Structure 1
Amino acid sequence: MPPITYAPLDARQLLNKFYRDQRSPMRAGNGATLWVARAPAIVAGLSLTPIADGHWLTGLLVAQAQRGQGLARGLVGAARLSVHGPVWLFCHPDLQGFYEKLGFTPDPPLPVPLAERLRGYQQSKFLLAMASCASLG
């Protein structure tokens, strides 16, 4: 595989196309900074939306064929280094160990807008809130 590059992406439609190509219902976040991993095509993506004194990470997806190669760690790490303050995310409990390996911890205090959003989501599914307050290496 060619070398992987991690960088912000200005073209929201390109990340949405990647999600569609992967048959994912995910969409690039409105008002978010979008990040992708390229090799040279997009092989992973995520959104970081400013909220309170931190950012909300959504839409982390690695192409099926490239999973297990550390792309999520590299992408989250590059994106995390670009921002200050905590980064929060919601995930299915089965993914807790995966995110802990990326430096996230469960059950953090949430800013009010995220706490309200989590309550809304939990009316139909159980999600775990996690946060990272340190850069990833």
Structure 2
Amino acid sequence: MPELHIEPLAEPLWPLLNKFYRSHNSSMKALKGGRLWVARDSEIVAGLCLSPVMGGQWLTGVFVDPAYRGQGLAARLIEQAVAGVEGTVWLLCHPDLEGLYQRMGFSQETVLPQSLSERLVRYKRNKPMIAMGFSII
């Protein structure tokens, strides 16, 4: 894999991550109040958002350009983004992604903060979803 640059995305550049999501027909969006992280080749090839919630962070918007998948990029991006974060990192995902996140240390054996628990209930009305967490010590 070419050497990619993984770094936080400065707030004035946030529209670039949304443009990346749209270019791949993804409905994901950068969340206001979150910290955005990207991996770049010459352009953004992966991104995510970490938003503060009670007791930790909510990980959303994890997306890797299909041409860069299968190379461990999502794991590298998440690892760097959560370095130095205290508490638990939670995510809500399709059950098909459970194995991917388990390999990164996430587990369904987690207690969600109320705000995420309520979201999970709403999301599950329209599609299959699971919650996973990873505690950082």
Deviations 1:48-95 (A, max 9, x none): 000002000000000011101111010000011041110000011111
* Alignment RMSD: 1.3
SS of residue paired to 1:27: coil
Displacement, 1:3? 1.0
Structure 1 residues 44 and 130, CA, compared in 2 at 3 Å: closer, same or farther?
same
Q: Is the 8 A contact 1:48 1:57 kept in 2?
A: yes
Alignment length (residue pairs) = 135
Q: Is the 8 A contact 2:14 2:36 kept in 1?
A: yes
Q: Normalization by structure 1: what TM-score?
A: 0.93
Determine the structure 1 residue equivalent to 2:7.
7
Q: Runs of 5+ in structure 1 lacking a partner?
A: none
Residue 24 (structure 1) aligned with residue 23 (structure 2): no
Aligned counterparts, 1:97-112, within 5 A: 97-112=99-114
Which amino acid is the alignment partner of residue 9 of structure 1?
A: L
Q: Quote the Cα distance in structure 1 between the aligned partners of 2:91 and 2:53.
A: 12
- Could you list the structure 1 runs, at least 4 aligned residues long, displaced by more than 3 angstroms after superposition: none
Determine the structure 1 residue equivalent to 2:72.
70
Q: Normalization by structure 2: what TM-score?
A: 0.93
SS of residue paired to 1:86: strand
SS of residue paired to 1:106: coil
